[in-house]
Amino acid sequence: MTKDLQGTWWASRDGDFYTSGPHDTREQAIFAGREDFDGGAFHIVEAGIAPLRFSAARLIDQQYFEDDELFHPGASGADRRGNCKAADAELQEMLDAWLVRHADTFVAPTMFAWSRNEEFIPAGAVGEREAA
């Protein structure tokens, strides 16, 4: 699936939050990781970026109505009625517009759409370059 995709390289101290990047090559990610993480061990990954997006459908269906019993405990069936598609579309437009105006308020405004070639890099001297 990701075979033909062009990604950038990222480095992370813990393998969860990739704070160093984007880098064009694996070697640049390793060099930056050595400096950014003071010569300690770290992880690298090649990844493609997905734009930050909030989902009205997920917000409504999974978090507030369909997956819990907040509104009608013990009742079965949908928690909504009427023209839900139009209401959801309007909410999605509002979320998208809000995000355009305020995306810069997020510390990490990017997420990975895909990743590959994750690798653990052992501790080494700061600034040391590794061979490919």
**DSSP line for the chain:** --TT---EEEEESSSS---EEEESSHHHHHHHHHHHTTT--EEEEEEEEEE----HHIIIIIIIITTS-SSSTT--S-S--S-HHHHHHHHHHHHHHHHHHHGGGSSS-EEEEEEEEEEEE----TTPPPP-
Please write the tens of the pLDDT for every residue from 12-52: 999 888 989 999 999 999 999 999 999 999 999 999 988 77
Please write the tens of the pLDDT for every residue from 48-72: 988 778 888 888 776 665 555 555 6
Residue 112 above 70 pLDDT?
Answer: yes
Contact 49, 113 (CB under 8 A): yes
Q: Give the residue numbers spanning the domain of 88.
A: 56-105
| Same domain? 101 vs 60 | yes
Domain total in the chain: 2
In a domain, residue 131? The reply is: no
In a domain, residue 2? The reply is: no
HSE-CB at 112 with a 13 A cutoff on CA atoms is 22
| Same domain? 65 vs 101 | yes
In a domain, residue 79? The reply is: yes
| Same domain? 35 vs 67 | no
CA distance 30 to 117: 13
In a domain, residue 61? The reply is: yes
In a domain, residue 130? The reply is: no
| Same domain? 75 vs 99 | yes
In a domain, residue 129? The reply is: no
pTM: 0.58
In a domain, residue 38? The reply is: yes
| Same domain? 64 vs 93 | yes
| Same domain? 80 vs 43 | no
